[in-house]
A = this chain, B = another copy of it.
Amino acid sequence: MIQSSQPKGRELVRVQDLTPEKADQLIWLRARVHTSRAKGKQCFLVLRQQQFNVQALVAVGDCASKQMVKFAANITKESIVDVEASVRKVEQKIESCSQQDVELHIERIFVISQAEPRLPLQLEDAVRPDGEGEEEGRATVNQDTKLDNRVIDLRTTTSQAIFRLQSGVCQLFRDTLTHKGFVEIQTPKIISAASEGGANVFTVSYFKTSAYLAQSPQLYKQMCICADFDKVFCVGPVFRAEDSNTHRHLTEFVGLDIEMAFNYHYHEVIDSITDTMVQIFKGLRDNFQTEIQTVNKQFPSEPFKFLEPTLRLEYTEGVAMLREAGVEMGDEDDLSTPNEKLLGRLVKEKYDTDFYVLDKYPLAVRPFYTMPDPNNAKYSNSYDMFMRGEEILSGAQRIHDAQLLTERATHHQIDLEKIKSYVDSFRFGAPPHGGGGIGLERVCMLYLGLHNVRQTSMFPRDPKRLTP
């Protein structure tokens, strides 16, 4: 066990750097035993580091004894080993490994950390596309088994790719907004009152009283605008005590939130958000091709398409498209999930984009703080954004006038006492502003064409899952 007793050791080479240029060099490497197969006087190992792997060989001869081959053959899968080996060019490409042009001839091998012999799941089963290999009786791993053993499941090439791409989404989101002059803020998650209504909120014991977990940073983002931060964003957990067991709901997810003051029209806000999304899509397309293709191997999907500038449709146009496709719905009805998906397909057919904005929702289906449309009282200055026909963002111009906010809250029969501090935020001068909240896991799921948000949450939380 490495307990830091020696300050320095051998130089270790990375698997991804094992190329023909290193041929005939003697190197040290630390990696996991991905597979191991003994065959007479030889033992073939595949050694893995994250998404990279290389074939290695222990053979009885000059540098290995029979005992050593036996020792190597008995090392359990997923154990971490240090090996000293010479790099050899191979005649025929090794198709099953990422390093196809070389193999390692092992001279010494030490076990750094031994895995228990019975793995709860096999990595090769966990990355097998659905249906493939069924006739040969090869297994796939169901989602609950994967999630129950997430530490093993996260080692697969698919999981490594998904979460490296997710890390990229966060970075692209922040870099784009920082570049646009936004300031990052940190908002509290423990709050004294359920700002967006009492439903779907988790209660926390707080010393001798009770508190709630924030369903979004909405109120705090708006307070920062009233406090002259002008343009703000935050990345952090949001909590929804919703008993929804669907492919796209989590009880805790990561919100990418934006709020900004604008000069004259909330379309300035829409333009900022859509441009940010486009920068994310471009960044993923340009810098994460390996990850996208790795995920596609297990979960095939069409490349994600988007337009510049982003397509913006009005709600009434969307309703007209749906009606033309045979859907019956009223002007002020909200979109059901199946209708959202259908509209996504219709938009894709007509405009060839997987990303668009639906603007000017009916006022009746939006929260009380949504600014009404100045020209038509039935509609509002609010919008949703969709990726592959599923909602990833909901946003609006917010009411920045205490009196109008009070009227709208009263109309929605909201207890004014409970939202007093919220309303009071607008009494000392508030600029017109708007924003929106994006679900990180949904963006990753839909960009990659996956079908369950649990695949893009490292440790997902839903009404039935609290562990690991």
Interface on A for B, CB 8 Å cutoff? 1-9, 12, 30, 32, 49-50, 78-80, 112-116, 119, 150-155, 159-160, 163-164, 166-167, 170-171, 174, 178, 183-192, 202-207, 209, 211, 213, 220, 223-224, 226-230, 235-237, 239, 241, 243, 251-252, 254, 263-267, 371-372, 374-375, 381, 397, 400-401, 404, 421, 425, 427-432, 440, 457-459, 461, 463, 466-468
Contact = CB atoms under 8 A, between A and B. Distances in A.
Contacts of A1: 400-401, 404, 432
A367 B371 CA distance: 52
Contact of A229 (B163, B183, B440): B163
Given A204-B204, A466-B192, A401 B113 contact: yes
A230 B163 CA distance: 13
Contacts of A381: 3-4
Nearest to A154: B227
Given A151-B428, A190-B239, A213 B204 contact: yes
Nearest to A459: B188
A379 B124 CA distance: 43
A228 B32 contact: yes
Contact of A421 (B116, B397, B467): B467
A150 B251 CA distance: 30
B432 A267 contact: no
A237 B185 CA distance: 12
A400 B79 CA distance: 13
Contacts of A440: 186
Nearest to A462: B207
A400 B113 contact: yes
Contact of A4 (B8, B204, B371, B429): B371
B429 A115 contact: yes
A191 B459 CA distance: 10
B150 A372 contact: no
Contact of A466 (B206, B252, B463): B206
B204 A185 contact: no
A265 B428 contact: no
A381 B2 CA distance: 12
Given A265-B4, A266-B4, A184 B170 contact: yes
Contacts of A112: 431-432
Contact of A265 (B6, B152, B224, B459): B6
A263 B12 contact: yes
B163 A183 contact: yes
